[in-house]
Amino acid sequence: MSRKLSYREAMREAMHEALSKDPRVFLMGEDVGRYGGTYAFSKGFLDAFGPERIRDTPLSELGFVGAGVGAALGGLRPIVEVMTVNFSLLALDQIVNSAALYRHMSGGQFSVPLVIRMATGAGRQLAAQHSHSLENWYAHIPGIKVLAPATIEDARGMLAPALADPDPVVIFEHAGLFNMEGELPDDWTVDIASAKVRRTGKDVAIITHGGSLPKVLAAAETLAADGVEAEVIDLRVLRPLDTATIAAAVAKCHRAVVVDEGWKSGSLAAEVMARIVEHAFWELDAPVARVCSEEVPIPYAKHLEDAALPQPEKIVAAVKEMLG
């Protein structure tokens, strides 16, 4: 059996469950309480759990992420919501220099069981300061796990293991996915360690994550109509990367396209390509290709924004050029 729900509802259910099950869990961030959350993920939570556990914060990412680090060190299990990854740069010091390092700096005496959720990505005409994809900045840092739920199941299931993890976990939720609806099976199981094959194929492996997954799946359908069977890999976990699953898909298909909404220079796509070359070079039948965002600030105008982002047509074109 399964039931239908949206990504937003799945995430809301996951938080509701965590808050209900464990009194150490609390939610903190801008507008999470009285407003019900910028994206309405915590609508009704203030009434249900009270102002101690659903805490509105001032507009200071440095301050409230730091408070989250302190709460985690003190034994709580904070969920800190940052409105977008763009704003999280104000909290980079807390995340990179504090949360990620305390286990190391304390010789294993302190751990920081902190979950930071943040929206990422473009596609909603929110202009450059609200639209970038900087997952790769965090995926670069030892000491934290980085997750990118792109399905209803992962939106529902990734929070619990993230909270159970003794170290900081950053969860990237692509804003373009929030209204996506899908079936959640009753017997879902979710890990935060592996990449998943979302579609099986044999001609080309398309490796992606987050908001690009639906675009890749749409491109795969278009390709299938032309007789090209694409295998679609959803990375899910951006740090540590599941290299084995990536290499296996390349070994199977002998061609790979990486789709990443980040800019290509220094991107997560670049890292995935490097892993492919390191671990599956002799399986390659064509140079690895990638579809990334154009290297410009994401524009406000709809047609320019669409043109700047990976789109199914661009993915199809990349695959076809590769096939010759």
Partner 1 sequence: MIEFKLPSLGADMDEGTLLEWRVKPGDAVKKGQVIAVVDTAKAAVDIECWQDGTIVELLAEVGQKMPVGTVMATLLEAGEKSLPSLPASLPQGERGGSQLPSPLAGEGLRERGNAPAQRRMISPAARKHAAEKGVDLDSLTGSGPHGAVILADVETAAAQGAAAASRPAVAATTEVPSAEKGAARIAAMRQAIATAMARSKREIPHYYVSEDIPLARALAWLQTANSQRSMAERLLPAVLLLKAVAVTLRGYPELNGWWRDGSFVTAERSNPGVAISLRQGGLIAPALLDAGSKPLTQLMQELTDLVQRARAGSLRSSELTDGTITVTNLGDQGTQTVFGVIYPPQVALVGFGRIVERPWAEDGGLKVLPVVTASLAADHRVSDGHRGALFLRELAELLQHPEELDKEAS
Binding of partner 1 at residue 284 (CB under 8 A)?
Answer: yes
Pairing verdict, β 237-239 and 2-6: unpaired
Q: Give the nearest distance from C-beta 219 to partner 1 in angstroms.
A: 19
> How would you class 192 by CB atoms within 10 Å of its CB: exposed for 0-12, middle for 13-18, buried for 19 or more?
buried
Task: Confirm whether 61 is a catalytic residue.
Answer: yes
Q: Which residues of 94-113 are buried (b: 16+ CB within 10 A; e: fewer)?
A: bbbebbbbbbeeeeeeebbb
**Residue appearing with tokens 């739920």:** 149
Residue of the chain from 47, 285, 306, 313 that contacts partner 1 (CB under 8 A): 285
Which of 281, 300 has the CB closer to partner 1? 281
Binding of partner 1 at residue 324 (CB under 8 A)?
Answer: yes
- Asked if residue 147 lies in contact with residue 91, where contact means CB atoms within 8 angstroms, the answer is no
Q: Give the nearest distance from C-beta 282 to partner 1 in angstroms.
A: 4
**Would the CA dihedral through 121, 295, 246, 199 be positive or negative?**
positive
Tokens of 93: 């010091």
Binding of partner 1 at residue 321 (CB under 8 A)?
Answer: yes
Residue of the chain from 2, 97, 287, 313 that contacts partner 1 (CB under 8 A): 287
Name the packing angle between helices 268-280 and 243-253 (round to 10°): 70
Q: Count residues contacting partner 1 (CB under 8 A)? A: 12
Which of 31, 283 has the CB closer to partner 1? 283
Compute the C-alpha angle 17/18/22, nearest 5°: 120
Q: Give the nearest distance from C-beta 269 to partner 1 in angstroms.
A: 15
Which of 74, 324 has the CB closer to partner 1? 324
Residue of the chain from 16, 43, 140, 254 that contacts partner 1 (CB under 8 A): 254
Of 9, 61, 81, 261, which residue is the catalytic one?
A: 61
Residue of the chain from 87, 283, 297, 317 that contacts partner 1 (CB under 8 A): 283
Q: Give the nearest distance from C-beta 251 to partner 1 in angstroms.
A: 9
Binding of partner 1 at residue 322 (CB under 8 A)?
Answer: yes
Binding of partner 1 at residue 286 (CB under 8 A)?
Answer: yes
Q: Give the nearest distance from C-beta 275 to partner 1 in angstroms.
A: 15
Distance between CA atoms of residues 95 and 239, nearest Å: 15
Binding of partner 1 at residue 229 (CB under 8 A)?
Answer: no
**Which residues make Cβ contacts (< 8 Å) with residue 159, sequence separation at least 6?**
11, 14, 15, 18, 79, 115, 171
Of 9, 81, 130, 174, which residue is the catalytic one?
A: 130
- Tell me the three state secondary structure of residue 259: strand
Binding of partner 1 at residue 317 (CB under 8 A)?
Answer: no
Distance between CA atoms of residues 253 and 60, nearest Å: 47
Which of 76, 316 has the CB closer to partner 1? 316
Query: What type of residue is 114?
Result: L
Which of 22, 229 has the CB closer to partner 1? 229
Active-site amino acid positions: 61, 130
Binding site for partner 1 (CB under 8 A): 254, 281-287, 321-324
